[in-house]
């Protein structure tokens, strides 16, 4: 499915407001959106959301043969999936240009920045190494996908633990998590990505642009830094010419962001480890914090009881009866059937008899009711009298005049007010 | 005969870009579902007679070109949606198995129905999924991953509601393992009751969502 392009008036609105230092989501130009990080109950999974962009990353490991060029090094494989869930312009199982760019950049940031110790992933040189698969799934797109994907991947890698192995002379033993505790990856540093939008040939900087904003921008620059103030990757889209000062400014912004976010990642991982060491099974992704309360609903665990055979039979009989009744009432059903068939005529006769019986019963009941009414009519005289009294009370003009005068006057005594209230009550 | 249905949670209209979406969880099993459409489709893949359904279940890891759940979901939807109402169009349904703790098939079917209800696509009748496994001759509804691994037979039923009598009926099923007819019958009795409580959950959730729209 194709998406609607941004309209010209919308574009001018966004660009003009950005130049004036305002944004449609009430941020300033140099303000980030909120980041949410959740780790799953399965090991090596994390969901990250920046604003409305949502990405899940799952890390898994398998044993493979290393390449002949690097016989002592483990393999890191990055796979990005852009499904129609993220944006309906994508297609299932088709990478597309956007997906390719994302994969390349993630490879640059995670693999080529050498943040993971690949030598420790070697089991037998030249024969067996661990292959770490990083599967990134984009779930919703609203700008800065790379930031979100990178953060999710880093958190998942921190969360991941590979199974323990022992080497025997002729084979390798792989242990489950119950036999030998799994081993976390050796991670040297955490590269954290920041997308910075550029407007007016790089003179205006817009941090963390949303999808609509990024469609109006001249270009973006992506800076990946770690908390030790090192630049791990730098990528600029479109061919803008930037001065060193502009790039330095961007890098500075990215560095402060990287420091903030790496402490968040560490906090999340620590919290999870604490829960796991207390033998609590974390609920992971099952718990969500709803954005709109009315859209969320839950029902507690419930006992399901299937009825015993007898009950079922009874129910079935009841159902049959109710169906018969329904057929009798639905005129369209009878109309569609042949009206001349003997069955239909019989039914009508029975119905008529029933109807007559019912009518008779109704008449008899109503006769009784009439008697009751006669009794009630005695009380009515009292009622009429009461009404007359009330009407007589209303007729007194003096009281009404008095009340209007009081309300018009500015100085109202408390006593008068009480009198008024009392009168109103009487009315 | 009794069983336990785990806690169900849903959050509708969860994603920004999709037309209808839900985050649905059954115990610790969590599925995100989205659907978009009816929308335009490439001429080569379009059908002149009916809407083209594009269903894909995507697991967290590995290649997602084919998943066994795609078939049962597609065939259920074909029965439930009147596809001939929307020729030349497509409906794209994507399911992400975010977290697997057993009965992923049932959760996927429930999430699909929720996403479609959220989208507002007209369809004939609602449906739900029920997973039942047999452990040591005992039937268990809505098993966890641990129970599923211990089981020797597994039944996945797609249950829809009869249009006239509104009683639950099977519209698709996937059975693995040797089961006698009696066991299947008992499983169906359990599934029937489960389906009723899931349908009730649909109704309450949707009523809640639309409670402000109609005022």
CA–CA gap between residue A110 and residue A106 (Å, rounded): 6
CA–CA gap between residue A75 and residue A132 (Å, rounded): 6
B27 interfaces chain A, CB cutoff of 8 Å: yes
Q: Which of residues 48-67 of B touch A (CB under 8 A)?
A: 54, 56, 58, 60-62, 64-65
What are the pLDDT digits (tens) for B104-145? 999 999 999 999 999 998 888 999 999 999 999 899 999 999
Please indicate whether, in this complex, the C-beta atoms of B9 and A58 are within 8 angstroms of each other. Answer: no
Which of A236-240, A326-330, A358-362 bottoms out in mean pLDDT, i.e. has the lowest?
A326-330
Ranges of each domain in chain A: 8-188+254-286
- Which one of 3.30.230.70, 1.25.40.80, 3.40.50.2020, 3.90.550.10 gives the CATH number of domain A8-188+254-286? 3.30.230.70
| A141 vs B contacts (CB less than 8 Å) | 16-17
What are the pLDDT digits (tens) for A266-300? 999 999 999 888 877 777 776 666 667 777 888 88
What are the pLDDT digits (tens) for A53-90? 999 999 999 999 999 999 999 999 999 999 999 999 99
Please indicate whether, in this complex, the C-beta atoms of A52 and B16 are within 8 angstroms of each other. Answer: yes
CA–CA gap between residue A244 and residue A132 (Å, rounded): 37
B40 interfaces chain A, CB cutoff of 8 Å: yes
What are the pLDDT digits (tens) for A20-41? 999 999 999 889 999 999 998 8
CA–CA gap between residue B207 and residue A212 (Å, rounded): 33
CATH superfamily of B8-210: GHMP Kinase, N-terminal domain (3.30.230.70)
| pLDDT surpassing 80 at residue A319 | no
What are the pLDDT digits (tens) for B25-72? 998 899 999 999 899 999 999 999 999 999 999 998 888 888 999 999
CA–CA gap between residue A79 and residue B65 (Å, rounded): 14
CA-wise closest residue to B56 among B14, B17, B108: B108
Task: Mention every residue, 6+ apart, whose C-beta is less than 8 A from residue A330.
Answer: none
CA–CA gap between residue B119 and residue A135 (Å, rounded): 28
Mean pLDDT over A104-121 rounds to 92
Q: Which residues pair with B35 in a beta bridge?
A: B20, B93
Ranges of each domain in chain B: 8-210
Residue B57: closest CA among chain A residues belongs to which residue? A92
DSSP class of residue A293?
A: G
The percentage of residues in chain A with a pLDDT greater than 70, rounded to a whole number, is: 74
| pLDDT surpassing 70 at residue A369 | no
The continuous run of DSSP H or E covering A399 comes out as helix A397-408
Please indicate whether, in this complex, the C-beta atoms of A306 and B16 are within 8 angstroms of each other. Answer: no
Q: Indicate the average pLDDT of chain A.
A: 81
| pLDDT surpassing 50 at residue A399 | no
CA–CA gap between residue A329 and residue B109 (Å, rounded): 36
Q: Which is more confident, B168 or A384?
A: B168
- ipTM for this prediction: 0.90
| pLDDT surpassing 90 at residue A390 | no
């Amino acid at each position: 499915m194709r998406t609607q392009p941004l309209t010209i008036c919308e574009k001018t609105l966004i660009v003009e407001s950005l130049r004036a230092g305002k944004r449609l989501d009430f941020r300033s130009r140099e303000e980030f959106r909120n980041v949410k990080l959740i780790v799953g109950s399965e090991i090596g999974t994390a969901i990250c959301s920046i604003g409305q962009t949502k990405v899940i990353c799952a890390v898994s490991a398998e044993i493979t043969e290393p390449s002949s060029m690097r016989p002592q090094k483990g393999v890191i494989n990055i796979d990005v999936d852009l499904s129609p869930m993220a944006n309906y312009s994508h297609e299932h199982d088709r990478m597309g240009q956007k997906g390719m760019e994302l994969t390349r950049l993630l490879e640059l940031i995670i693999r080529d920045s050498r943040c993971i110790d690949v030598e420790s992933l070697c089991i037998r040189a030249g024969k067996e190494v661990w292959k770490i698969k990083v599967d990134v799934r984009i779930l919703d797109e609203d700008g800065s996908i790379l930031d979100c994907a990178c953060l999710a991947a880093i958190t998942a890698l921190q969360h991941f633990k590979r199974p323990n192995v022992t080497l025997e002379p002729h084979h390798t033993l792989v242990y489950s998590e119950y036999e030998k505790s799994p081993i976390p990856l050796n991670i040297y540093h955490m590269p954290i990505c920041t997308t910075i939008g550029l407007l007016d040939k790089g003179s205006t900087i817009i941090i963390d642009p949303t999808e609509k904003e990024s469609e109006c921008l001249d270009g973006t620059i992506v800076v990946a830094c770690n908390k030790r103030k090192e630049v791990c990757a730098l990528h600029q889209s479109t061919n803008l010419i930037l001065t060193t000062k502009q790039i330095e400014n961007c890098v500075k912004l990215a560095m402060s962001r990287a420091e903030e976010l790496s402490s968040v990642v560490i906090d999340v991982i620590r919290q999870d480890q604490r829960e796991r060491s207390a033998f609590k099974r974390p609920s992971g992704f099952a718990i969500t914090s709803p954005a709109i309360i009315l859209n969320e609903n839950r029902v507690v665990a419930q006992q399901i009881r299937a009825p015993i055979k007898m009950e079922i039979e009874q129910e079935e009989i009841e159902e049959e009866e109710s169906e018969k009744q329904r057929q009798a009432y639905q005129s369209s059903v009878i109309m569609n059937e042949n009206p001349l068939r003997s069955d239909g005529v019989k039914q009508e006769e029975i119905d008529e008899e029933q109807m007559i019986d019912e009518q008779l019963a109704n008449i008899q009941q109503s006769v009784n009711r009439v008697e009751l009414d006669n009794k009630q009519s005695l009380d009515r005289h009292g009622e009429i009298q009461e009404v007359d009294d009330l009407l007589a009370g209303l007729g007194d003009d003096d009281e009404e005049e008095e009340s209007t005068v009081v309300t018009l006057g500015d100085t109202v005594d408390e006593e008068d007010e009480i009198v008024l209230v009392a009168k109103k009550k009487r009315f | 005969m009794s069983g336990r249905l785990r806690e169900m949670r849903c959050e509708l209209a969860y994603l920004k870009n999709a037309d209808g979406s839900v985050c649905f969880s059954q115990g610790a099993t969590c599925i995100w579902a989205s659907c978009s459409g009816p929308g335009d489709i490439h001429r080569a893949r379009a059908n002149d007679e009916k809407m083209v359904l594009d269903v894909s279940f995507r697991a967290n890891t590995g290649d997602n070109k084919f998943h066994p759940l795609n078939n049962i979901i597609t065939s259920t939807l074909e029965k439930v949606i009147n596809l001939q109402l929307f020729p030349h169009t497509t409906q794209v349904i994507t399911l992400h198995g975010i977290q697997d703790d057993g009965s992923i098939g049932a959760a996927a079917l429930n999430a699909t129905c929720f996403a479609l209800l959220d989208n507002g696509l007209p369809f004939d009748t609602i449906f739900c999924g029920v997973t039942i496994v047999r452990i040591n001759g005992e039937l268990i509804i809505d098993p966890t991953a641990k129970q599923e691994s211990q089981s020797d037979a597994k039944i996945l039923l797609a249950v829809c509601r009869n249009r006239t009598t509104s009683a639950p009926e099977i519209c698709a099923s996937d059975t693995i393992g040797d089961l006698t007819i009696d066991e299947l019958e008992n499983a169906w009795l359990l599934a029937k009751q489960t389906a009723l409580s899931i349908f009730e959950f649909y109704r309450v959730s949707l009523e809640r969502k639309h409670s402000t729209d109609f005022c």
